[in-house]
Amino acid sequence: MKDLGCIALFALIVACVPLVTSSGVALNFTMMALYACLLAQAWNILGGFGGQFSFGHALFFGTGAYVQAIAQLQGLNPWLALPLALAASALVALFVGALTFRYGLKGSYFALVTLAFAEVFRIVSLSVSFTGAGVGLMVPLRASASNMQFASRAGYVWLVLAMVVVALLVTAWLRHSRFGAYLQAVRDNEDAARAVGVDPFRVKLAAIALSAALMGAGGAFYVQVFQYIDPGIAYGPGTSVEALVAAIVGGMGTLWGPVVGAVALHLLADLTRNLFGQLPGINMVIYGVVLVLIMMFAPRGIAGFGLPARWRRLRGKRNG
């Protein structure tokens, strides 16, 4: 239960940030980095632990965001809209997962199908009226905690921190549970998993639903912060890429990898923004370069890069 201790410590330290500083820049950075953590962790459940590389996680992000926005516009309290958003994202995931996993799509095929689904949803949401079509949806600003909107960034930091902690707890549970063991077994060798009684279809389906629900939480959070959503933001490839790059750079299938990756990428993006000014798309270029470098030199990510692997090998030698 070392994981739980680490998570508690992490939560405590980050929760203190808004108490220590009231600088808008610092709080904004903390909030956006945590938000990126959330997306990366969501992706990590399916991609890192399940080995199913989705290129269309925006599908679940966007669904969560739209449901959160639409429910509020219908007069529902955002705190009540949030579970709806999670459920809707999970439902979409079950649908996509049932289709793709039933027919055994893996690797690049699965990646392409998820990418295609996200694009289909983007185009559909551009043309139907209840998503506001190309204009998007505006959520009225009524700053109060009961309305899940906060006058200062501090409230948002705490909100997204709570979501990140839930995501961390889910990931920690994966590391110490039968479901997590099954999921990693399916990732490493599906036939071998089947031979010892694992039903890969059900395991992958549960993983994609879990992953999507967390992604949906990210979408709902986005709507609460920016009070606006449109098809490009919701279902565009940007969010999908951000989620997977942070997870891969940080270290797939680890607890802290996505956190490390998300923070590192955000630091990098801020740095380049300061160096190159507001050159549009520069952060995507940087992400691409970093992804290639990581894949070439540290395929296990930053977290799998130094100590843990070496420590594990040492421990193996001592016992062996």
Structure token digits, residue 205 = 């389906």
Which of 33, 90, 165, 198 binds other proteins (CB under 8 A)? It is 198
Give least dist CB 187 to other proteins, A. 8
Choose the stretch contacting other proteins; rule: CB under 8 A; options: 23-31, 107-115, 198-206, 222-230. Answer: 198-206
Query: Would you list the DSSP string of 36-83?
Result: HHHHHHHHHIIIIIT----S-THHHHHHHHHHHHHHHHTT--HHHHHH
Stretch that binds other proteins, among 110-118, 159-167, 174-182, 278-286 (CB under 8 A): 174-182
Query: For 13, which DSSP code?
Result: H
Please give, one letter per residue, the 3-state secondary structure of 49-62: HCCCCCCCCHHHHH
Per-residue DSSP letter, 137: E
Q: 6 to 65, contacts with other proteins by CB under 8 A?
A: none
Sequence-separated (6 or more) residues with CB below 8 Å from residue 33: 262, 263, 266
Give the interface segment with other proteins, choosing from 14-22, 35-43, 144-152, 312-320 (CB under 8 A): 312-320
The stretch among 76-84, 114-122, 136-144, 181-189 that binds other proteins (CB under 8 A) is 181-189
Q: Which of residues 237-276 bind other proteins (CB under 8 A)?
A: 253
Would you say 229 or 252 has its CB closer to other proteins? 252
Helix (H, G, I), strand (E, B) or coil at 12: helix
Question: Considering the complex, what minimum distance in angstroms separates the CB of residue 193 from other proteins?
Answer: 7
Candidates 169, 185, 282, 284; binder of other proteins (CB under 8 A) is: 185
Angle between helix 237-250 and helix 282-297 axes, rounded to 10 deg: 30
Contacts with other proteins by CB under 8 A: the residue count is 27
If you ran DSSP here, which 8-state letter would residue 281 be given? T
Residue 277 found at the interface with other proteins (CB under 8 A): no
Q: Assign 138 to helix, strand or coil.
A: strand
**Binding interface with other proteins (CB under 8 A):** 176-178, 181-182, 184-185, 187-189, 191-200, 253, 312-313, 315-316, 319-320
